[in-house]
Amino acid sequence: MTTEPHDSLRPVKEPALRNTRRQIRQPLLLALALACGILLGANPFRPSDQNPDATARGYLKFKEILSYVDRDYVDSVNAEELSDYAIGRMLERLDPHSVFIPARQQQQASAFLQSDFDGVGVEFNLFHDTVTVVSPLSGGPADQAGLQPGDRILAVNGERVSGMHNTTEQVFNKLRGPRGSAVLVRLLRRGLTQPLNVQMTRNRISNSSVDVAYMIDNQTGYIKVSRFASGTYDEFKAALGDLRRQGLTRLVLDLRGNPGGYLDRATKLADELIGGTKKIVYTDGKGDQYDTQTFSRVAGEFEEGPLVVVVDEGSASAAEVVAGALQDQDRALVVGRRTFGKGLVQQPIALNDGSELRLTIARYYTPSGRSIQKSYSGGLAEYEKDLVNRQRHGEYFHADSIHFADSLRYRTAHGRTVYGGGGIMPDVFVPRDTTAYSAYYTRLQSHNLVREFAVRFFQEHKTELEGLRFEQFSQSFRISDAQLQQLAARAAQDGVANDAAGLRRCAPLLRSQLKALIARSAYGKAAYFQVLNQEDVEIQQALRVVTDSGSTLMNGLTLK
């Protein structure tokens, strides 16, 4: 049943004062026009000239419906949460990367692109609801206070964190805080019967986006960039300069798993590697307001010499801009697998309540004219299945499973053939390691047992490991069959059934990962990557390509 207010219920002074229908409509239209004028005048991002009336009508309709729901709906509702939900669903109709970030999440979303943060500086993992230290960051408050790999954090400032079903984010929020503030950590250490209370003073912690930079041999340098954050360019330039002083004449740049970040940091990094005045990327938006072209301009640190860029399906956005520019300008060969295909440009727009709208305003194109963005015509759900579909179609394992139409063929600066259609297709394809797809291996990882075993091993053999230099460890240390059996037995206790065939299949990968994780605890993050790269098929292929500088490679391109 509905009830509607009616004019007869309202007092009327004189029948002669009743307005005609036309007289009623005029003030309503004036009020609507005034409301629209206030709306558009208060909004710094005005609608386009193409259809401003529809924008105003849509706004007023949404406002009216939200008011009715808030006032008259049978149950109490949170109008702000409903509004956030409606905005999110609206943006899904545009493209997969236009997003609304509520105020409560905005700080966390922005932290990813910062090069430092306030906290205690500790890498941890959650093992069976227990917060376990993997490694304190060198020079940070946790390192100075003596925290060790394997320490179990029981409480932070008197509040229990172990056995409480906390998420990683919740633990982060407890450990981080304003610099200069104190935090009391209660922890349990192997070999001690009683917990320790350790007080630390939070400080500024470096959050480097250049994970590691080192010389593989006396000529070949390796740099891994995990994201393009505020300090990435400065970190990369410093790392590259240091390697040059050590004798670098050829470089492997690892952008695997790099989801992107700030475009200007990515283009400045590319400029360090591209000589002359050459196009790096251009954008094309509605009209010419957001159309840009970016060229190399400065004298870079490494503009000549063999260069290989390693990518995979996790390389996206700004990482694809770098790979595409270096490939199109014939400055580098790209090794690995087709990149993600995220080529939409988002403009961050701060809203009054502290939330943020990241609105797509243009598309990225490589110098040859390739659009980096893959198709999203099938809708958001289908778009999000793309990587799963690549695996199902065999793209991760067979280069010939990828087919391009002739219309997607482009030419590099020296005339080599490259393809568009979404993502950057590598010059040298490297299939994924099939051992990573063992069901047994997947179960071990899902239970976090590999990392847990490595931390426990470090604790049990800490004295012996500390007596070895990293070079000795790298050359002589090996995970034995007996230790793999110990891992399998530990897994069985955790509910992962024994699978002898599955263990044999993934044994090489497990040996490499366990050795790298033990090196991480014993010698630091750089050691972790050095050990992993010794067995990494993509890095080993990249090394073969970059050292073959005297041979003609890939349609006549010679790396010089």
CA quadruple 497, 500, 506, 508: dihedral sign: positive
User: In the chain, what is the greatest distance between 2 CA atoms, to the nearest angstrom?
Assistant: 104
State the Rg of the chain over Cα.
29
Q: What is the pLDDT confidence band of residue 32, given thresholds at 50, 70 and 90?
A: very low
- The pLDDT assigned to 374 comes to 93
- The pLDDT assigned to 549 comes to 59
How far is the C-alpha of 525 from the C-alpha of 146, rounded, in Å? 18
- Whole-angstrom distance between the N-terminal and C-terminal Cα of the chain? 81
CATH topology of domain 116-206: Pdz3 Domain (2.30.42)
Domain ranges of the chain: 116-206, 212-429, 439-540
Tokens of 319: 């990482």
Cα 234 to Cα 205, 209, 265, 332: the distances in Å are: 17, 10, 9, 21
Q: Which of 113-127, 420-434, 544-558 has the highest mean pLDDT?
A: 420-434
> Any catalytic annotation for residue 206?
no
- The pLDDT assigned to 178 comes to 87
Residues paired with 284 in a beta bridge: 363
Q: Do domains 116-206 and 212-429 have the same CATH topology?
A: no
Angle between helices 79-92 and 52-72 (to 10 degrees): 140
> At 372, is the secondary structure helix, strand, or coil?
coil
Whether the per-residue pLDDT at 387 is higher than 80: the answer is yes
Give the pLDDT mean for 378-406: 83
The number of CA neighbours under 13 Å toward the Cβ of 266 is: 28
How far is the C-alpha of 118 from the C-alpha of 205, rounded, in Å? 6
Tokens of 200: 């630390």
Q: From the candidates 224, 268, 342, 515, which is the catalytic residue?
A: 342
Whether the per-residue pLDDT at 30 is higher than 70: the answer is no
- Closest by CA position to 370, among listed 310, 316, 421: 421
CA quadruple 543, 546, 547, 550: dihedral sign: positive
Residues paired with 222 in a beta bridge: 214, 252
- Closest by CA position to 123, among listed 81, 171, 158: 171
CA quadruple 520, 523, 525, 528: dihedral sign: negative
Whether the per-residue pLDDT at 291 is higher than 90: the answer is yes
- The pLDDT assigned to 129 comes to 74
- The pLDDT assigned to 365 comes to 95
Whether the per-residue pLDDT at 106 is higher than 80: the answer is no
What letter represents residue 350's amino acid?
A
Q: What is the pLDDT confidence band of residue 3, given thresholds at 50, 70 and 90?
A: very low
> Any catalytic annotation for residue 84?
no
Residue bearing the bigger pLDDT, 247 or 407: 247
pLDDT digits 0-9 by tens, 177-206: 888 999 899 988 877 888 889 899 998 887
Question: What's the mean per-residue pLDDT of the chain?
Answer: 84
Please provide the size of the chain in residues.
Answer: 560
- The pLDDT assigned to 407 comes to 81
How much of the chain, in percent, has pLDDT values that exceed 90?
49
Q: What is the pLDDT confidence band of residue 48, given thresholds at 50, 70 and 90?
A: low
Contacts of 130 (CB under 8 A, 6+ apart): 152, 162, 163
- The pLDDT assigned to 351 comes to 87
- The pLDDT assigned to 104 comes to 76
Q: From the candidates 98, 208, 317, 368, which is the catalytic residue?
A: 317
- The pLDDT assigned to 208 comes to 87
> Any catalytic annotation for residue 174?
no
Contact between 335 and 426 under an 8 Å Cβ cutoff? The reply is: yes
Q: From the candidates 84, 328, 386, 536, which is the catalytic residue?
A: 328
Note the pTM of the prediction, 2 decimals. 0.82
How, if at all, do strands 333-336 and 152-156 pair? unpaired
CATH topology of domain 212-429: 2-enoyl-CoA Hydratase; Chain A, domain 1 (3.90.226)
pLDDT digits 0-9 by tens, 514-537: 999 999 989 988 999 999 999 899
Q: What is the pLDDT confidence band of residue 47, given thresholds at 50, 70 and 90?
A: low
Whether the per-residue pLDDT at 45 is higher than 50: the answer is no
- Alpha helices in 447-536, H assignment, sequence order: 449-460, 462-466, 470-476, 481-493, 500-523, 525-535
pLDDT digits 0-9 by tens, 197-253: 989 999 888 778 999 999 999 999 999 999 999 899 999 999 999 999 999 999 999
How far is the C-alpha of 252 from the C-alpha of 426, rounded, in Å? 14
How far is the C-alpha of 255 from the C-alpha of 225, rounded, in Å? 6
> At 486, is the secondary structure helix, strand, or coil?
helix
- The pLDDT assigned to 46 comes to 60
Give the pLDDT mean for 339-360: 90
